[in-house]
Amino acid sequence: MIQELLTHWMTPCPRPIRRLGYLHDMIAVRARHRRCRDAWAPHLAATRERVAAAVDATPGRDLAVVLGAGLLLDVPLDALAAAFRRVVLVDVCWLGETRRAVRRFGNVDLLDHDVTGLAAACRGVASIPAVPRGSIPYLRDADLVCSLNCLSQLPLNPRLALESLPDVSADRLDRFSRAIVAAHVEALADAPGLALLVTDTTANRVLKSTGDALSRDLLFGHPHLDGGDTWWWDIAPAPEEDRRYDLRHKVVAGVV
Ligand SMILES: C[S@@+](CC[C@H](N)C(=O)[O-])C[C@H]1O[C@@H](n2cnc3c(N)ncnc32)[C@H](O)[C@@H]1O
The whole-number pLDDT of residue 8 equals 81
Candidates 220, 217, 203; CA nearest to 159 is 220
Burial class (CB in 10 A: 0-12, 13-18, 19+), 172: middle
For the CA of 156, the closest atom of ligand 1 is: 16
Query: Does the C-beta of 73 come closer than 6 Å to ligand 1?
Result: yes
Alpha-carbon dihedral sign for residues 209, 215, 218, 220? negative
Query: Does the C-beta of 75 come closer than 6 Å to ligand 1?
Result: yes
Q: How far is the CA of 211 from the centre of ligand 1 (A)?
A: 31
Q: Are 135 and 90 in contact (CB under 8 A)?
A: no
Chain segment 91-131, per-residue pLDDT in tens: 999 999 999 999 999 999 999 999 999 988 888 888 999 99
For the CA of 148, the closest atom of ligand 1 is: 6
With a pLDDT cut of 70, the percent of the chain lying above it is 100
With a pLDDT cut of 90, the percent of the chain lying above it is 87
Q: In 10 A of CB 196, how many CB atoms? A: 26
Q: Are 119 and 131 in contact (CB under 8 A)?
A: no
pLDDT at position 3 over 80? no
Q: How far is the CA of 95 from the centre of ligand 1 (A)?
A: 12
Please state whether the peptide bond connecting residue 166 to the residue before it is cis, i.e. omega within 30 degrees of 0.
no
Query: Does the C-beta of 64 come closer than 6 Å to ligand 1?
Result: no
Full 3-state SS string of 28-65: HHHHHHHHCHHHHHHHHHHHHHHHHHHHHHCCCCCEEE
Average the pLDDT over 123-146 and give the result: 94
Candidates 93, 148, 89; CA nearest to 119 is 93
For each of the domains in the chain, give its residue range(s) and CATH number, in order of start. 2-255 (3.40.50)
Chain segment 45-68, per-residue pLDDT in tens: 999 999 999 999 999 999 999 999
Q: Which residue's CA is the nearest one to ligand 1's atom 14?
A: 68
Whole-number CA gyration radius for the chain: 18
> What residues does 225 pair with on adjacent strands?
none
Say which amino acid occupies 42.
P
Candidates 191, 176, 151; CA nearest to 70 is 151
The rounded mean pLDDT for the chain is: 95
Q: How far is the CA of 69 from the centre of ligand 1 (A)?
A: 6
Say which amino acid occupies 238.
A
Cα–Cα distance, 117 to 13 (Å, whole number): 16
> What residues does 108 pair with on adjacent strands?
87
Question: What are the angstrom distances between the C-alpha of 38 and each of 43, 45, 109, 236, 243?
Answer: 10, 11, 29, 11, 18
Reported as a pLDDT band with limits 50, 70 and 90, residue 12 is confident
